[in-house]
Structure 1
Amino acid sequence: MLTKPNKLEIGDTIGIIAPSGSLASLVPHRLEAAKKNLENLGFKVKLFPTTKLNDNGNAGTIGERIKDIHDAFLDKKVKAIICATGGISNNQLISKIDYNIIKENPKIFVGYSDTTILHYAFQKKAELVTFYGPCAITQFGEFPDVLEYTKNSFINTLVEGRTLGKIEPSEEWTSELLDWFQKLDLTRSRKLGKNSGYKWLKPGSAKANIVGGCLHSIAYLIGTDIDLDYTDKILFIETPEGKDFTKGEPIPYVEAQIVDLKNKGIFNKIKGLIVGRPFGYSDEEKTQFEEIIKEHLKEYNFPILINVDIGHTDPIITLPLGVNVTINSEENTFSIDESGVI
């Protein structure tokens, strides 16, 4: 049984850490905007040292990043922890974290992208419900304010603490990037386009516990001691940007990772698949993305729901990991059936 953290109260302190990449230190105006936007929601904000560090692309040394994780969980005033951003180096930390600290001080932990690795580790080693959701500089640093759908999901999930029920898709979305280094993000808000809503690559219904995260991080974890048991679970996956931050991860890489999961036998175990809206693909690439999913999963009978507001496009939901969810193609619904907090 996983431990659910206490819900947030307006006036509580949120800690921001950077356990992986150093982007927060390179675009400090985004970090300050995140702090201000969270304060405008009624929270106090504590910036931990890694948010200001850059060590060859990482937010400090392994030791400095581990210390911030431990300190944030040990700090009695901090009621929730939000990651500044993702990166590629959370896998450096998993063997060095003191999971007893996490287990003895359960609290809200939020992030996405390669934060997937910490979500898996905290669920496996500390038995904690965590939250796949907005990061500080990417979502809370939005100009001129956090997108309303992202903000509402964060509050409903973590402050209201309700059983969320049916999750309506956002009306609009964007993957536009305005150059943060040139501060073009301060010149205007991003352009949003109409969201076409949920799409089903395979019909059906399933009700189960949800696990998952960023696809390439899940593939990294295959065979490690923090890999999770997928038996009778609903898996969600989402794809990040590629080396060119304006474009999505190349389709051949995504295909290879899906095949990795297939070869591991993960798709033999799950009851359903949810796929986040992919980042940075042309219409042609989106079609290719859907086709590789259909091709490699054609022998399975579980329902496949795509174009969900999870991952590297905006807005996004705050998704509790390790709770029961339901997907139903006939009703065209995705519902979160229990609260992730107490």
Structure 2
Amino acid sequence: MDKRQFIKSCALAASFLPLAGCANVIAAPGAVANTAAGSGKQILPIALQPGDTVALVSPSKATDHLLDVQIATEVMQALGLKVKLGKHLTSRRGHLAGTDQDRADDINSMFADPDVSAIICLRGGSGAARILPLLDYALIKKNPKALLGYSDITALHNAIHAQTGLITFHGPNGTGSWNSFNADQFRRVFFQQERMQYENVIDARDELAARQNRIITINSGKAQGEIIGGNLSVFTSLAGSPYLPDFTNKILFVEDVQEAPYRIDRMLSTLKLMGALDKLAGFIFGDCTGCNPIGGYGWLTMDQIFDDHIKPLQIPAYRGAMIGHIKQQFIVPVGAKVEMDADNGSFKLLQSVFQTA
């Protein structure tokens, strides 16, 4: 993946920082040093309604085709929304959608714009973490709006939540698949403000037993807590920074794409070594698309990896949730309080995730 080189450089930098003591890291301008400081008080975004204006921004990789912008615009319009394009949406610097300052400016300006009700990320890729020190968290906190995206946008979700307490939304990017499942879920989450029950859609098709969207319970039980997470490799690349939320009593959800099992093992090891896994109330793993073993002397299976890292935690845990680089994916409010059921393979919202009038 194009995010791997960036993650390697982040890992090298993080190796000089105390992973277990993120609060001791010197904060970047606009950021607080204590990772728990921003999440002490939860902030809800303003509600979104048909007819409102949403902004399209590109915090990570540049778009290779202008048609992507047109399609994302048409998707938002089909949902009944007006669209405002970020000033640097189609800019390019190497693989990035403009300079770091350009991309940060687009996000800051859209949070500040009174005509914009929500912010949709055009795509993921690599590079969102580069702009974290350039975001105006005080501005974001004063102008709470929904932010939607996934993959590399994991960096934004966690930084914004850690620094402000704002709930953001892990779900389809503007250039993602907007099939009937995703479009219906968007309307239910944003327009109807439904307290969602997230349970996999099971379709046996022409099989006696369903093979798609199956869940596997790692540890039985139910748990409640604020849900945090996103793409595992991006998430762990933030280790040692002030841009990860506090893990205490949280429910962690993660997913990944095109990562060999040994890399998943290494990332979970990082979370274990920094003390994160031991603080969790629950664990949900989504899809690991294209996470196939590579050659060598053998490899741990995904089953063994979860048995080694998650099962000993003795907290409710399951894998197979419809979260990740897949066509139909849940829109998860990052930072919202949920209850998970590891036996049923589901989780549900326990609160409203938007401001009420």
Whether 1:101 and 2:120 are equivalent positions in the alignment is: no
**Residues 284-295 of structure 1 aligned to structure 2 (within 5 Å):** 288-295=301-308
**Distance of 2:78 and 2:98 partners within structure 1:** 29
CA–CA separation in structure 2 for the residues paired with 1:35 and 1:286: 44
- One-letter identity of the residue aligned with 2:52: D
2:157 aligned residue (112, 115, 119) = 119
Q: Does 1:130 pair with 2:161?
A: no
What is the aligned partner in structure 1 of residue 36 from structure 2? none
**1:2-57 Cα shifts (integer Å, max 9, x gaps):** 110111110011101001111x2x12222211211221111111121332112100
Give 2:31's aligned residue: none
From 45, 55, 75, the equivalent of 1:5 is 45
How has the CA–CA distance of structure 1 residues 257 and 282 changed in structure 2, closer, same or farther, with 3 Å as cutoff? closer
Amino acid at match of 2:174: A
Give the aligned partner of residue 19 of structure 1.
Answer: 59
- Distance across 2 between alignment mates of 1:65 and 1:194: 41
Q: Distance in 1 between matches of 2:144 and 2:346?
A: 31
Superposed CA offset, 1:221-268 (max 9, x none)? 11211221111111111113xxxxxxx212222111110001111111
Q: Are the equivalent residues in 2 in contact too, given 1:20–1:59 (CA < 8 A)?
A: yes
Given the alignment, which residue of 251, 254, 260 partners 2:264?
Answer: 254
Q: Find the aligned partners of 1:199 and 1:10 in 2 and give their Cα distance.
A: 38
Q: Which residue of 2 aligns with 1:230?
A: 247
Aligned to 1:142: none
Structure 2 Cα separation of the partners of residues 133 and 80 of structure 1: 14
2:310 maps to 297
The residue that corresponds to 2:198 in the other structure is: 167
Deviation readout 1:174-222 (Å, 9 max, x if unpaired)? xxxxxxxxxxxxxxxxxxx962432212212111111111111221111
1:156: which partner in 2? 188
- Separation in structure 2 between the aligned mates of residue 31 and residue 296 of structure 1, nearest angstrom: 41
Q: Read off the aligned partner of 2:235 and give its amino acid letter.
A: I
Aligned-pair CA distance for 1:69: 0.8
Q: Does the CA-based 8 Å contact 2:255-2:323 persist in structure 1?
A: yes
Structure 1 unaligned blocks of 5 or more: 140-145, 174-192, 241-247
Q: Is the 8 A contact 2:254 2:286 kept in 1?
A: yes
In 1, the alpha carbon distance for the partners of 2:182 and 2:154 equals 19
Partner of 2:88: helix, strand, or coil? helix
Q: Which residue of 1 aligns with 2:122?
A: 84
| Gap runs ≥5 in structure 2 | 1-40, 205-209
> Which amino acid letter does the alignment assign opposite residue 274 of structure 2?
K
Q: Which of residues 260, 267, 277 is equivalent to 2:287?
A: 277
Q: Which moved more, 1:65-74 or 1:294-303?
A: 294-303
Q: Which amino acid aligns with 2:109?
A: D
CA distance in 2, matches of 1:147, 1:290: 31
CA distance in 2, matches of 1:310, 1:286: 25
Classify the secondary structure of the residue corresponding to 1:19: coil
Change (3 A) 1:88 1:126: same
CA contact (8 A) 2:213 2:322 kept: no
Contact 1:19 1:90 in 2 (8 A): yes
C-alpha displacement of 1:72:
0.9
Alpha-carbon shift at residue 287 of structure 1 (Å) = 8.8
| 1:204–1:104 distance in 2 versus 1, CA, 3 Å | same
Q: Distance in 2 between the 1:225 and 1:282 partners?
A: 32
Distance of 2:104 and 2:251 partners within structure 1: 31
Q: Is the 8 A contact 2:227 2:250 kept in 1?
A: yes
So what's the TM-score if we normalise by structure 2?
0.81
Offset, 1:288 = 2.1
User: Shift of residue 329 of structure 1?
Assistant: 3.3
What TM-score comes out, normalization by structure 1 length?
0.84
Alignment correspondent of 2:230: 213
The aligned length equals 307
Identity between Structure 1 and Structure 2 (%): 28
Considering only aligned residues, what root-mean-square deviation do their CA atoms show, in Å?
2.2
CA offsets 1:42-101 (integer angstroms, 9 cap, x no match)? 111112133211210000001111110111111111101011111221111111211111
1:266 is matched with which residue? 276
TM-aligned CA deviation for residue 282 of structure 1: 5.6
Given that 1:157 and 1:339 are in contact with CA atoms closer than 8 Å, whether structure 2 keeps it comes out as no
Question: C-alpha separation between the residues in 2 aligned to 1:67 and 1:123?
Answer: 19
- Residue 110 (structure 1) shift: 0.8
8 Å CA contact retained: 2:60, 2:127: yes
